[in-house]
Structure 1
Amino acid sequence: MNRQAVFRAETWRLKEPFHISRGVRTEAIVTVVEISAAGHVGRGESVPYAHYGESQDSVIAQMQGVRKAIEGGCSRQDLLQLMPAGAARNAIDCALWDLEAKMAGRTVYELAQARPALAPVTALTIGIGTVGEMAFKAAMLRDCGLIKVKLNRHDVVEKVRAIRAEAPKPRMIVDPNESWDIELLSEVHGDLATLGVDMLEQPLPAGADQVLDDFRCMVALCADESCHTTADLTTLENRYDIVNIKLDKTGGLTEALALKRTAEARGFRVMVGCMIGTSLAMTPALVLANGAEFIDLDGPVWMEQDRVGGLLIEDGRIEPGPKPLWGQ
């Protein structure tokens, strides 16, 4: 098969600063892959993540390293052996899925033997701010189905209590992004349960979560930074109830589908998450949405301007745009 591959870096401005425990960002820094063959073009987007040692330059360099194999016709399964999990493999894998679907005249859902989720509910995220700022944003989200609250170590219970007072109905995820220790978790988990928090996402650093072996949290615990691929599941048993599957961690939809199947078979509940990117990065992750207990794919909500044909998100409900962006 004669293919051509194009790799490029892009920057997309956010509507407002996005503040988590690791810092603040005002832009979405992404990498895009386009693979063309037989008059069709498959596309994929990924988000290089500095926390995992990635940058736009390093991801593009990884892509260039496998250009010959891609243009020579390597398969998605070949890619699992050629590249490690991460942003570079994700964009290429998603582009290959898109190209395969277009060449076959089928949808990616059909190729993956997956059922689409009908208007799934995504979490809408409240970034870190003062108690008053976060409560104000919660009031605007009182009618959505799921809120995700970013926190650090400061004013944990006070912020959640203020948010819950303004938005009593939505389900709630609390995400400290690894910024807590076991002492803080022990101090606040009972209050968070009383306030109706449905899930606590990666409170402890990934390299220090072995202390959860002997801890029984009153709120369901989700592994994010501790769970990248299927190989991680064994160490997560007895520590976490839920795993957060992100394509930029798994290195694409191919491994993500395998992770979801294996996690569910081992008794884990599933969350589908994302980095901050455009609808081109979110749409492939929707293939995992059916059966997932939590979905966090609100990246496009943060964009000052999304891609043409992007997802439509209203009160947290996700609908495809009028012209499919990917996978059909």
Structure 2
Amino acid sequence: MSRLKMKVAVETLRLAAPFRISGHVFDSRDAIVVTLDDGAHVGRGEATGVYYIGDDLDHMLAALELARDAIQAHPSRDELRSIMPPGGARNAVDAALWELESKQSGKPVWALAGLDPLRPLRTTFTLGADEPVKMAEQAVAWRQARSIKVKLTGDLDLDIARVNAIRAARGDVWLGVDANQGFSIGDMDALVAAMVAANVSLIEQPLARGQEANLDGYRSPIPLAADESALTLSDVAGLRGRFDVVNIKLDKCGGLTEALMIAAAASEAGLGVMVGCMVCSSLGAAPGFVVGQLCDLVDLDGPTFLKQDRTPGVIYRDGTIWCDEAVWGARPGSLSDASH
């Protein structure tokens, strides 16, 4: 293969409003955008890293420079998994390789991945933690949403009040909660009982990463999803008996290539499969939309938090997300690269 030219740009994705989760408040996220140029076509990939393991902007930039020569030698996506560790930097390069091959071949990414043609996906819309009445008002304002995910902070009484207010305002929606590691095993019985009463369908990452063994033998009538506890393919084997669902995020696992492997391994292990995203633009969400075709649950609302998304961007309509090949990849039969 011909050598590639890699360029790395840094962008700040600014949120329309502060977004609060357990232990953190975000008003922007730094993103890297990697472009790989073969002289005729350009592939792109975006990543914002993984804040809770130190995978920040500086870490991603350093990882890219360390691997620059190997990346520009035009590795395969499988080879990339040996060249770079999991994380945001590899995700951006992996996405760029997928799009580059898509444009070179004139085949859309879903076809390269051996998937059926893309279909719109029902997605959750996430409510950042706030006062219960404000969260209920936002839930009502999101009339199109058919699935809502609620960020909890680990303040049990306040979190229960938040969920009850949202459920009272939107009795029609699928409701899940995301604790972002905010609780201890001693909180679980009270948390689960309150969520059952509110007709909640998913509890995501209730305990801190590293405390997975505390869930051994714990039986919840509501499925438990692993997010921070499931970074890469190697984590899947340890989830059985503790979690029911694995939340795949491409910045965690290092790209669509490994995400597809996780989806297959999780299904084989009898786990439900979910895809999520960090704060991202449509370019960052697009590869997640591909793996989302294999998932039971989809949480790809990252672009909705931004003051300004990319154009063209993903489309949210009637509670679903749709990502056209115009956003990322190549349309079937197209060998041109208008962006080059």
Interval of TM-score (by shorter of Structure 1 and Structure 2): over 0.9
Aligned to 2:152: 151
- Report runs of 4+ in structure 1 exceeding 6 Å deviation: none
Aligned to 1:36: 37
SS in 1 for 2:43: strand
Deviations 1:87-109 (CA, angstroms, capped at 9, x unpaired)? 11000001000001100111111
Spell out the pairing of 1:307-322 with structure 2 (5 A cutoff).
307-320=310-323
**How many residues in Structure 1 have an aligned counterpart in Structure 2?**
327
SS in 2 for 1:190: helix
SS in 2 for 1:305: coil
Aligned to 1:132: 133
Aligned to 2:334: none
Distance (whole Å) between structure 2 residues aligned to residue 16 and residue 115 of structure 1: 37
- Partners of 2:127 and 2:135 within 8 A in 1: yes
Distance (whole Å) between structure 2 residues aligned to residue 142 and residue 161 of structure 1: 18
Cα drift, residue 117 of structure 1: 4.2
Aligned to 1:14: 15
Deviations 1:259-287 (CA, angstroms, capped at 9, x unpaired)? 10111011001110000010000001111
Distance (whole Å) between structure 1 residues aligned to residue 306 and residue 141 of structure 2: 18
Cα drift, residue 142 of structure 1: 4.7
The normalised TM-score by structure 1 is 0.97
Q: Identity rate of aligned residues, in percent?
A: 38
- Aligned equivalent of 1:166, options 164, 169, 172: 169
Cα drift, residue 70 of structure 1: 1.4
Distance (whole Å) between structure 2 residues aligned to residue 48 and residue 291 of structure 1: 23
Distance (whole Å) between structure 2 residues aligned to residue 9 and residue 132 of structure 1: 37
Cα drift, residue 17 of structure 1: 0.8
Deviations 1:43-76 (CA, angstroms, capped at 9, x unpaired)? 0001122211122111011001111111112111
Aligned to 2:100: 99
Cα drift, residue 183 of structure 1: 1.4
Distance (whole Å) between structure 2 residues aligned to residue 156 and residue 59 of structure 1: 34
- Partners of 1:10 and 1:32 within 8 A in 2: yes
- Partners of 2:263 and 2:294 within 8 A in 1: no
Distance (whole Å) between structure 2 residues aligned to residue 230 and residue 122 of structure 1: 23
Cα drift, residue 245 of structure 1: 0.4
Spell out the pairing of 1:47-62 with structure 2 (5 A cutoff).
47-62=48-63
- Partners of 1:143 and 1:169 within 8 A in 2: no
Q: Which runs of 5+ in 1 are unaligned?
A: none
- Partners of 2:22 and 2:179 within 8 A in 1: yes
Aligned amino acid, residue 72 of structure 2: E
Cα drift, residue 126 of structure 1: 0.5
Aligned to 1:183: 186
1:196 equivalenced with 2:195 (yes/no): no
- Partners of 2:289 and 2:323 within 8 A in 1: no
Cα drift, residue 326 of structure 1: 0.7
Cα drift, residue 291 of structure 1: 3.5
Distance (whole Å) between structure 2 residues aligned to residue 76 and residue 153 of structure 1: 39
Aligned to 2:83: 82
Aligned to 1:245: 248
Aligned amino acid, residue 318 of structure 1: I
Distance (whole Å) between structure 1 residues aligned to residue 223 and residue 206 of structure 2: 11
1:260 equivalenced with 2:260 (yes/no): no
Deviations 1:1-57 (CA, angstroms, capped at 9, x unpaired)? 121000121102111111111211111211110000131000000112221112211
- Partners of 2:215 and 2:242 within 8 A in 1: yes
Aligned to 2:221: 218
Q: Which runs of 5+ in 2 are unaligned?
A: 331-340
- Aligned equivalent of 2:291, options 268, 288, 291: 288
Distance (whole Å) between structure 1 residues aligned to residue 6 and residue 115 of structure 2: 27
- Partners of 1:28 and 1:276 within 8 A in 2: yes
Aligned to 1:110: 111
Distance (whole Å) between structure 1 residues aligned to residue 13 and residue 42 of structure 2: 22
The normalised TM-score by structure 2 is 0.93
- Partners of 1:40 and 1:102 within 8 A in 2: yes
Distance (whole Å) between structure 2 residues aligned to residue 288 and residue 265 of structure 1: 16
Distance (whole Å) between structure 2 residues aligned to residue 220 and residue 234 of structure 1: 17
Aligned to 2:67: 66
Aligned to 2:279: 276
Deviations 1:95-147 (CA, angstroms, capped at 9, x unpaired)? 00000110011111110001244221111111000111111111123542110
- Partners of 1:98 and 1:326 within 8 A in 2: yes
- Partners of 1:142 and 1:168 within 8 A in 2: no
Cα drift, residue 194 of structure 1: 2.2
Q: Rate the CA distance shift 1:25–1:315 in 2: closer, same or farther, 3 A.
A: farther
Aligned amino acid, residue 165 of structure 2: A
Aligned to 2:337: none
